[in-house]
Amino acid sequence: MIITKINIFFTAAIVSCAFFINLPSKAQDKKTLVYGDERHFKNMRQLTTGGDNAEAYFGFNNKDITFQRTNPKEGINCDQIFYGTIPKKADRPFTYKKVSTGKGRTTCAYLMPDHKHFLYASTHLAADTCPPVPDRSVIKKYVWPIYESYDIFVADFDGKITKRLTNIPGYDAEATISPKGDKIVFTSMRNGDLDIYTMNIDGTNVKQISHDLGYDGGPCFSPDSKKIVWRASRPKTDDAIKEYKALLAQGLVMPTQMEVFVANADGSGAVQVTHQGKANWAPSFTPDSRRIVFASNHEYERGFPFNLYLINIDGTGLERISHDSSFDAFPMFSPDGKKFIFSSNRNNNGGHDTNVFVCDWIE
């Protein structure tokens, strides 16, 4: 996925909050869906089947989730937002429904504190159709599109948009909500670069909190709402800066070199947590706010697989926690710390589907 010359071996899917690949997975115990060395996972359950399913996030009540789904076989040609409640019993089916408009491309949904609405980004105001994806055979690089038509909206579960939170030219997306329920953190290009911003839950009081050149994205708050974590590229050499700016002018970024950063909730005290090289991304906090879980391909010269890792916020104690041979990413703990959710290519019967999995977390 990361290196252009190996793109012929798999299909790459593009999302805005992050990225994922679709690779056949090695076989594992179909009863548990857990590899023997995944000691933190217990009672794993596959929630979705078929298509590309990712960015699954828990609501404040520990049981409701939103996620984005693409499945051309179902007429879903680019990501739309879905909502469902995880059943208490494993023998009960997981049912879900589409809650976005079905127009444009959507991404990065997050449930609101009232459990009646959700937050997400969408391109539907620009066009009802899916926006074009980059032709990497022409660009010769692995890139993500940064659609300037993305804005952030609040909608109810009937798909009705109740509020537009951003109305500034340029990319606004990748939004999540503080556990206190009072702040939103998101990525915007309103200043000409991709930086992190916060705003009140109603969209007021917008503040820029990251300032360094590079793609700052995928931010989220710690459970105590005191810190934020995100992933960022930091081009340093003249050639890297030139390339970054040239791609950005085309509405593109190349996410092959990213590290995890943490800061206070107002952006102060920012520090780089990982120094692994390659792509370290999709970070979120553990329930105690002392560690970060994230996805990375740093162990592999060819850029894949991606696996999940834990690390202390001071950068010590790196621990690999997943062991699939293709793709594990988008990890998140439930607010009470009992459940763990992520997306994976595991158990896709040798196909290319990415599905959502949930399990009990064992410390």
- Residue 13: the pLDDT is 40
CA distances from 306 to 231, 272, 278, 282, 345 (A): 15, 20, 11, 11, 10
- DSSP codes of every residue in 13-30: EE-SS-EEEE-PPPP--T
Which has more confidence, 13 or 18? 18
Strand blocks (E) in 117-215: 117-122, 144-145, 151-156, 161-164, 172-177, 183-188, 195-200, 207-208
Q: Could you read off the pLDDT of 55-85 as tens digits, one per residue?
A: 999 999 999 999 999 999 999 999 999 999 9
At the topology level of CATH, where does 4-361 sit? Answer: Neuraminidase (2.120.10)
Q: Report percent pLDDT > 90 for the chain.
A: 84
Q: Please determine, for residue 93, whether its predicted confidence score (pLDDT) is greater than 70.
A: yes
Cβ atoms of 198 and 182 within 8 Å: the answer is no
Q: Could you read off the pLDDT of 217-262 as tens digits, one per residue?
A: 999 999 999 999 999 999 999 999 999 999 999 999 999 999 999 9
**Stretch 195-212: mean pLDDT:** 98
Please provide the average confidence, as pLDDT, over all residues in the chain. 91
Exposure of 167 by Cβ count < 10 A (0-12 exposed, 13-18 middle, 19+ buried)? exposed
Q: Please determine, for residue 162, whether its predicted confidence score (pLDDT) is greater than 90.
A: yes
Domain boundaries, the chain: 4-361
Query: 304 falls in which pLDDT band (50, 70, 90)?
Result: confident
Q: Please determine, for residue 362, whether its predicted confidence score (pLDDT) is greater than 80.
A: yes
**Stretch 304-323: mean pLDDT:** 96
CA distances from 47 to 56, 64, 199 (A): 10, 12, 32
Q: Please determine, for residue 4, whether its predicted confidence score (pLDDT) is greater than 50.
A: no
Q: Please determine, for residue 16, whether its predicted confidence score (pLDDT) is greater than 90.
A: no
Which has more confidence, 111 or 15? 111
- Residue 11: the pLDDT is 34
- Residue 315: the pLDDT is 97
